[in-house]
Structure 1
Amino acid sequence: MTAAAKPADTPRASSALDDEVAKFAAMAEKWWDPDGPFRPLHKFNPKRLAYIRDQASARFDRDIDQRTPFAGLTLLDIGCGGGLLCEPMARLGFQVTGIDATEKNVKTAAVHAEQSGLDITYRHATPETLVAEGLRFDVVLTMEVVEHVADVDAFLMSCGTLVKPGGLLVGATLNRTLKALALAKVGAEYVLGWLPRGTHDWRKFVKPSEFAAGLRAGGLTVDGFAGMTYSPFADAWSLSRDIDVNYMVAAHKA
């Protein structure tokens, strides 16, 4: 099987910011380098994947001990980047579509998927594009994306619209707290050098209440939040109740 990419797609009037698109275009070739600028994503990807898997298992009553427990279900990864979530989701059986406002990202993702023998559809598009096409998915992911968009409410409404009735949305972002400013902005970019300087703008971080309000406007019911906490001694991430910095959210459409 080979990956199908449609980089010629042109995003409609969207929540994408030109400067954010350019920022990630400059790093597109480095998505799969575990020691590169996306090292933090590689480090906490296992915990993100486990959270998505468990939420989907509960929502669709699937046995995660099966080889492809989510066969027959569709999944959309909004802001897919180089495909770090798309590929493991495809291996779990989902029919995966990944979209990104940065054309170089989807090209990188498509090449990597083809090399991995995975059938994933990648498109240079925004959520608004897919809403206009009338597309809907069983699972929609918007992971570490909302803090980079121009209009949070419009973006989340589009995300919610793309969820099928009975479907699931899983999101992740950074909380707009002083703790997040110290750790996720100053610490990660300027002290530890985990991310290139300027990757994030603390003013665009999104409080859980704001995330929840946007999802409700998109017709979703929020099921709950989970925090992501980093242990410097173990150099590892874990799920926690602390949502002051990194957090994930699960929501469903009735």
Structure 2
Amino acid sequence: GSMKALHAMNDLRIPFIKNGLVNSHRLKALEVKNKVKFLEGIKILDIGCGGGILTEALARLGGSVTGIDPSEQLIAVARAHTLSQPNATPPSYTATTVEEYAPSVMAQYDVAVAS
């Protein structure tokens, strides 16, 4: 549909994030190859998550994901879409800016993505 291009970007973004986690020694290369949910145990902050396309994909891979976006409308779209998806651990969403959210909670995340 109309979001096809955004979904296609996950084909680039997920391997980029995966490689970054391996290169920073947050994940072992062998685990990434052999596990479908290779993000299990990884806490991820998706900054500017919009409607949650990347956020949901990271959650399906086992990540504990929080999406933030300043647009309350986009957060509402993301939350509604998540309800229709079979994520083992659905992402959480907050309508806020990174400037408001990150200073007090950044230390609890392993990874922050903004794309």
**TM-score bracket, shorter-length normalisation:** 0.7 to 0.9
- Counterparts of 2:38 and 2:4 in 1: how far apart (Å)? 28
Q: Which has the larger radius of gyration?
A: 1
Q: How far is 1:61 from its partner?
A: 2.7
Query: Which residue of structure 2 aligns with residue 73 of structure 1?
Result: 42
- Counterparts of 1:39 and 1:117 in 2: how far apart (Å)? 20
Query: Which residue of structure 2 aligns with residue 45 of structure 1?
Result: 10
Structure 2 counterpart of 1:135, one-letter code: V
The answer to whether the aligner puts 1:142 opposite 2:111 as a matched pair is: no
Structure 2 counterpart of 1:94, one-letter code: G
- Counterparts of 2:27 and 2:18 in 1: how far apart (Å)? 11
Q: Point out which structure has higher relative CO (alpha carbons under 8 A, 6+ apart).
A: 2
Query: Which residue of structure 2 aligns with residue 58 of structure 1?
Result: 23
**What pairs with 1:171-182 in structure 2 (closer than 5 Å)?**
none
Q: Which of 80, 83, 94 pairs up with 1:123?
A: 94
The answer to whether the aligner puts 1:109 opposite 2:83 as a matched pair is: no
Between Structure 1 and Structure 2, the one with more strand by share is: 1
- Counterparts of 2:75 and 2:37 in 1: how far apart (Å)? 24
- Counterparts of 1:48 and 1:131 in 2: how far apart (Å)? 22
CA RMSD of aligned residues (A): 1.6
Give the TM-score, by structure 2 length. 0.83
Q: Pick closer, same or farther for the CA change 1:61–1:45 going to 2, 3 Å.
A: closer
For the residue of structure 1 that corresponds to 2:9, the secondary structure is helix
**What pairs with 1:223-242 in structure 2 (closer than 5 Å)?**
none
For the residue of structure 2 that corresponds to 1:85, the secondary structure is helix
Query: Which residue of structure 2 aligns with residue 219 of structure 1?
Result: none
Show CA shifts across 1:110-159 (max 9, x none). 11111103311100011112134x1021100111xxxxxxxxxxxxxxxx
**What pairs with 1:213-228 in structure 2 (closer than 5 Å)?**
none
Query: Which residue of structure 2 aligns with residue 95 of structure 1?
Result: 64
Gaps of 5+ in 2: none
- Counterparts of 1:111 and 1:79 in 2: how far apart (Å)? 17
The alignment covers a number of residue pairs equal to 107
Gaps of 5+ in 1: 1-33, 144-254
Give the TM-score, by structure 1 length. 0.40
Show CA shifts across 1:18-75 (max 9, x none). xxxxxxxxxxxxxxxx3x2x44323332112211122223321332121222211110
- Counterparts of 2:37 and 2:10 in 1: how far apart (Å)? 19
Structure 1 counterpart of 2:13, one-letter code: R
